[in-house]
Structure formats: structure tokens, C-alpha cells
């Protein structure tokens, strides 16, 4: 919500200073424009750094530990290279498409800030330098496509992977980000998404599901032993994700303020609740509480609290966490097995499902005195349908666009490595390296 206000301000500022197009200081043209706040800026600089840490090394290690040893470097490489590629794309056009006004503003931004044109040293975005806001948002732009890596592992050509990351970030992420945070139609319709339940997690989760279906199962799926090669790496990765997520959620308050504090508190509570919920579910069903279970549950909780972080209180967070832990456990184990798709590292089961649970429950548990909007429990019956509408819009766009991009790439260059490369392992066959 803070975003919406902020971007509305920026948009008004932009309109008022249309005659100054190309000026380094578009938002300062407005009299009421806020001034730089050093506390806010310090927190956002910190948040930006730790959200980057979520992808490298957090997500890279989390995923890297879950694959077989012959593919660990290929996963680290996918995360690291995606980080670099997406940085450049964000600089060239991503930021502009997400956060400027465009001719079709309900759906996508414009190209006014192509190559970050007009972002000077003194440019402000709310109370922080625009450079910091741009960087903070860049780390989201990086982690979202990188999340999809989990459903592509062990079998995708690196060239196809890079093209997919690039195209997906522009065609899917930038518009959806604009819909919710850049002044597009979902924000206008009142969809609540504090830190990226729709934009980041449902978006990546659905893309992961579509991608693993288009790509096909790993060779030997269901018969070969595909057990994680090193859960220690995954525990380190999940823990880095958890810590980094404070930047993600509390940073999404775009300031060092009360909203950030509450976002941090509910993030911690929901995460712990989800981790325990998954652990106990598994203990009950399979007889043993597993390490992979408890860290998967934690990630599911982090995902589910993301849209809700600035809107719910600790009690709401507790319920959201438990729901995410149990829901994602069921989807990532039973349902996946039943339907037979090879969402290798459960991008859909954790991020897609957790995102949907969180987005909808935000409409249930939103507290007016915390985020300015009341939820179902406070008598606002309209919010849950609005949240579902936001979920559906994201699901449809992500699914359709992901499918089209992948089919195009499949036709033009092919998506999968050869069977012999897959058997040999991508580390050696694609990168000429290996972990001994």
C-alpha cells in the first residue's frame, strides 16, 4: 500500500513536470514532495543488500543442495548468471516498464526511464534516493525469475535458460510488477500485496509449473534416485533466505518505520509456524520429522506472509503460517506425486501454493489499524474476492505468457540438453567443471 501511495505521488510529480521531461529531478517538481530521510535510506540500503543475498548465495545454495551432485554447479551457475543478466535488463528497460507511466498504464509502464534516463544522484522516490528504490526493486526482479530455476534443474540448455530468464522478466515480471506496485490495474482495484505474494511468488510458482510441464520430466524421474546430494547446503541457503526476507518484507515498507517493524515481526512468526506445521505434518504421515521438511516449511511460511506482511497482526501471521506449512506440504508431496509433473524443487508447490494461500488469507486477516485496510475478520467482505481476483489475474498472465515464451524457444533453439548430457550431468556437459 505504501508503494501505491508512493507511486501515485511519483506519477503526479511526473505529470506535473511533463514539460521537464528528461530532467534529473522529476519528483522534486512537486511542492509537497517529501524530502530525503536518512533513516529510511539507511534501512533501504540495508534491505537491498540482504535481498540480493537471498538469491546469491541463499537461493543458489538452497536449490544447489537439493539436486544430485552432478548438477550442483549448473544450479549455482543458473542463479548467479541470472542475477547478472537480470541486473542489466532491469537497468536497460525493466525498471522503466515497471515503474513509469506508459501509454497503456493499466497494464505496463513506459520507456521514459530507458537505460535509467533521468535518474540522477538527487532524484528521490518518496523519502529515499531513487537509485536506492531502483536497486531495491532490482533485487526483486532478480529473485523472481531465479525462483523458477527450481523447476528447470538438471535438464535445460543454458542458452535457452538465459533467453527464458530475459524474456520472462520483461514480458511477465515487469508488467505484473506494474499492475501491483507501479500504478497498474490491480493496485487501482484494491488488491493488497505488501511485498510480492502475487508479483513474486504466485508469478514464479505458476511459471515454474508451466515450465516443468513444457520441459518434461527429468530422465529417470520416478525410478532413479534423485535424492538431494547435500542438505547442509540447503539448510544454509534456507537460513540465508530467512534472514534476507526481513529485507524483502520489512524493506517493502520503503522506510524505517512502524510498518517495517510489524512486517518483520509477522514474518518471523509466520515462518516459524509454517516450519513447525510442515515438520509435524510429515512426522505424522511419514513417521519422521525431516530436515528438508522443516526448511521447506520455513520457506513456505516466508512466501505466504509476503503479501500479508504490512497488513496483518501476529495472530493472523500465526494462522497464515500454519496454513502455508500444511497446504504446501500436501501440494509438494501428495498432489505432485498424484499428478506426475516433475516440478523438481517444488517451485509451484512452495511458491505458487504458498503465494496463493498468503494472498487470499491477507484478505481474511488484514487489520485496518495496521495496514489501513480491513479484512474479512473485521467485517470487510469485499477484500477476499478482490484478493482472489488479483491471484487469478497473475495466474492467467503468468501461465499464458510463460507457455508462449517457452514454446517459442522450444521451436527456435530447443529447451532440453541431449539425453547423454543429462545422464552425464550438466556440470560437466554444459560447464566443463565438476564438484569432486
Partner 1 sequence: MKLITAIIKPFKLEEVRTALTDLGLQGMTVTEVKGYGRQKGHTEIYRGAEYAVSFLPKIKMEIVVPTAQVDKALEAIQRAAKTGQIGDGKIFVSPIEHTVRIRTGESDDNAL
Using CB under 8 A as the binding rule, whether residue 232 contacts partner 1 is answered as: no
Nearest distance in Å: CB 340, partner 1: 12
Residue among 3 and 329 whose Cβ is closer to partner 1: 329
- Residue 292 near partner 1 by CB under 8 A: yes
Taking the least distance from each CB to partner 1, the nearer of 346 and 422 is 346
Q: How many residues does the chain have?
A: 436
For residue 293, state whether it binds partner 1 (rule: CB under 8 A).
yes
Kindly state the number of chain residues that form the binding site for partner 1, as judged by CB under 8 A.
Answer: 17
Q: How far is the CB of 82 from partner 1 (least distance, A)?
A: 24
Residues whose CB is less than 8 angstroms from the CB of residue 324 and which lie 6 or more positions away in sequence, other chains included: 270, 274, 277, 297, 300, 301, 303, 304, 305, 353, 354, 357, 358
* Region of 147-155, 285-293, 304-312, 415-423 interacting with partner 1 (CB under 8 A): 285-293
Identified binder of partner 1 from the candidate list 86, 156, 207, 226, rule CB under 8 A: 226
154 binds partner 1 (CB under 8 A): no
User: Cβ closer to partner 1: 307 or 349?
Assistant: 349
CB of 343 to partner 1, least distance (A): 10
Binder among 36, 286, 408, 413 for partner 1 (CB under 8 A): 286
In sign, the C-alpha dihedral spanning 339, 342, 343, 344 is: positive
Minimum CB distance to partner 1, residue 415 (Å): 24
Binding flag, residue 288, partner 1 (CB under 8 A): yes
Q: State in angstroms the smallest separation of the CB of 333 from partner 1.
A: 3
Q: Which is nearer to partner 1, 78 or 296 (CB)?
A: 296
218 phi and psi, to 5 degrees?
Answer: -65, 150
Is the CB of residue 163 less than 8 Å from the CB of residue 152?
no
Q: How far is the CB of 302 from partner 1 (least distance, A)?
A: 17
The yes or no reply on residue 346 touching partner 1 (CB under 8 A) is yes
Asked if omega into 57 is within 30° of 0 (cis), the reply is yes
Looking up cell 506494474, which residue turns up? Answer: 178
Nearest distance, CB of residue 221 and partner 1, angstroms: 9
Which cell goes with 43? 534501512
Residue 281 is a binding residue for partner 1 (CB under 8 A): no
Nearer to partner 1 among residue 335 and residue 412 (C-beta): 335
Q: Which of residues 32-61 bind partner 1 (CB under 8 A)?
A: none
Q: Per-residue x/- mask for partner 1, residues 322 to 341, rule CB under 8 A?
A: ----------xxx-xx----
> Closer to partner 1 at the Cβ: 283 or 389?
283
Residues 166-225 that bind partner 1 (CB under 8 A): 225
**Site for partner 1 (CB under 8 A): which residue of 94, 118, 184, 228?**
228
Name which of 315 and 337 has its Cβ closer to partner 1: 337
CB of 228 to partner 1, least distance (A): 6
CB nearer to partner 1: give 198 or 344. 344
Stretch that binds partner 1, among 123-131, 159-167, 226-234, 246-254 (CB under 8 A): 226-234
CB of 350 to partner 1, least distance (A): 9
Distance (Å, rounded) from C-alpha 359 to C-alpha 366?
11
Q: How far is the CB of 424 from partner 1 (least distance, A)?
A: 21
Using CB under 8 A as the criterion, which residues of the chain lie in contact with partner 1 when the complex forms? 225-228, 286, 288, 290, 292-293, 296, 332-334, 336-337, 346, 349
Amino acid at each position: 500500500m505504501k508503494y501505491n501511495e508512493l507511486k501515485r505521488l511519483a506519477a503526479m510529480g511526473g505529470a506535473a513536470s511533463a514539460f521537464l521531461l528528461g530532467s534529473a529531478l522529476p519528483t522534486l517538481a512537486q511542492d509537497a514532495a517529501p524530502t530525503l530521510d536518512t533513516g529510511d535510506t539507511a534501512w533501504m540500503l540495508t534491505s537491498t543488500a540482504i535481498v540480493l543475498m537471498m538469491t546469491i548465495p541463499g537461493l543458489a545454495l538452497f536449490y544447489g543442495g537439493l539436486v544430485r551432485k552432478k548438477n550442483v554447479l549448473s544450479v549455482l551457475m543458473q542463479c548467479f548468471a541470472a542475477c547478472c543478466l537480470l541486473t542489466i535488463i532491469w537497468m536497460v528497460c525493466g525498471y522503466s516498464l515497471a515503474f513509469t507511466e506508459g501509454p497503456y498504464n493499466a497494464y505496463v509502464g513506459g520507456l521514459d526511464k530507458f537505460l535509467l534516463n533521468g535518474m540522477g544522484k538527487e532524484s528521490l522516490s518518496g523519502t529515499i534516493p531513487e537509485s536506492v528504490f531502483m536497486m531495491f526493486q532490482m533485487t526483486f526482479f532478480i529473485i523472481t525469475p531465479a525462483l523458477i530455476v527450481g523447476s528447470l534443474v538438471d535438464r535445460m540448455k543454458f542458452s535457452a535458460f538465459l533467453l527464458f530468464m530475459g524474456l520472462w522478466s520483461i514480458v511477465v515480471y515487469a508488467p505484473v510488477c506494474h499492475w501491483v506496485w507501479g500504478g497498474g490495474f490491480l493496485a487501482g482495484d484494491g488488491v493488497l500485496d505488501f511485498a510480492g505474494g502475487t508479483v513474486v511468488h504466485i508469478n514464479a510458482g505458476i511459471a515454474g509449473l508451466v515450465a516443468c510441464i513444457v520441459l518434461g520430466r527429468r530422465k529417470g524421474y520416478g525410478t532413479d534416485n534423485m535424492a538431494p546430494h547435500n542438505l547442509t547446503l540447503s539448510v544454509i541457503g534456507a537460513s540465508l533466505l530467512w534472514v534476507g526476507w526481513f529485507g524483502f518484507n520489512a524493506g517493502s515498507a520503503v522506510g524505517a518505520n512502524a510498518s517495517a517493524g510489524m512486517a518483520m515481526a509477522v514474518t518471523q512468526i509466520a515462518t516459524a509456524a509454517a516450519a513447525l506445521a510442515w515438520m509435524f505434518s510429515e512426522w505424522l504421515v511419514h513417521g519422521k520429522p525431516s530436515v528438508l521438511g522443516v526448511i521447506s516449511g520455513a520457506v513456505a511460511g516466508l512466501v505466504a506472509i509476503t503479501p500479508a506482511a504490512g497488513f496483518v497482526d501476529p495472530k493472523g501471521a500465526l494462522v497464515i503460517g500454519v496454513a502455508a506449512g500444511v497446504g504446501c506440504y500436501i501440494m509438494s508431496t501428495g498432489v505432485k506425486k498424484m499428478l506426475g509433473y516433475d516440478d523438481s524443487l517444488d517451485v509451484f508447490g512452495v511458491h505458487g501454493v504458498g503465494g496463493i494461500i498468503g494472498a487470499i488469507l491477507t484478505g481474511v486477516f488484514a487489520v485496518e489499524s495496521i495496514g489501513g485496510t480491513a479484512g474479512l475478520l473485521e467485517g470487510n467482505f469485499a477484500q477476499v474476492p478482490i484478493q482472489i481476483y488479483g491471484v487469478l489475474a497473475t495466474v492467467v498472465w503468468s501461465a499464458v505468457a510463460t507457455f508462449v515464451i517457452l514454446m517459442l524457444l522450444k521451436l527456435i533453439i530447443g529447451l532440453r540438453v541431449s539425453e547423454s548430457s543429462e545422464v552425464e550431468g550438466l556440470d560437466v556437459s554444459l560447464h566443463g567443471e565438476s564438484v569432486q
